[in-house]
Structure 1
Amino acid sequence: MDASTNVNQSQHTLLPGWQLGKDLSCCMTELYDKKLWTDVKFRCKDHDDDERIHAHKTILAARSPVFQAMFFGAFAECREEVSIKDAKKEIFELLLRYMYSDTVALKKDTASELLQMAHLYQVPSLVEVCANFIATNIRPENACEILTLALSYDITILKEACCTVIDKNARLILKSNGFMDLKEEILLYILKGDTFYADEEEIFYKVEEWSTRKLTQLGLEHVGDNIRKILGDLFYQLRLPAMSCKALVKCTRKKAYLTAEEYINIVDFINDIPETSVLSNSCVSRLPVNDTLIIDIGDAEKIQSHCPSTSIQIHVAKDVELISFGLFDIEPCYKYDHCVQTNSEDNVESSADIGSFFESYRGKVIGLYKSLKRRVVHYKSVPEIDISRSFCPVIHGRLSISRRNFTHNFELDTQTNEIIYLKQPLKLEKSNVYTVEIQLEYSCCKRYTGCNRHLQIRYSESKNVINCKKDPVKVSNVYAYRHSLLESIQFRNLANR
Structure 2
Amino acid sequence: MDLTYKNDKDRFGHLCNNQQFADIYFIFKNDKEHQRIPAHKLILSVGSDVFKTMFFGSLPTQTDEIEILDVEPDGFKALLKYLYSQEVQINPEIVMSTLYAAKKYNVAELELFCVDFLEKSLTANNAFLLLNQARFYDELELAESCLKVIEKNTREALDSDCFIDIDLGTLIAVLERKTLQVFESDLFEAIFLWSKVECVRKELPVTPENQRTVLGRALSLILYPLMTFKKFANGPVRSRLLTDIQVTKFCMIIASKTNSMETPRCSTNLALAKTPEVHLKFNYLTHLIQKQQHFIDSFAFSQPVVIVGFALHTYLMKDKSKITLTLKDSLQPVFDITQCNDLSSTSLELPIILSRPFVINSSEIYTIETQIEKLSDCDLAPQNCLNKNYGELNCVYCGRYNRYQVAKMAVMEHIKPLNMNSVDYFNFIKCSGIISQIIFYEANSNVDPEDVLVRSFDIFKSN
**What TM-score, normalized to structure 1?**
0.46
**What TM-score, normalized to structure 2?**
0.49
* Greater gyration radius: 1
Larger % of strand: which?
Answer: 1
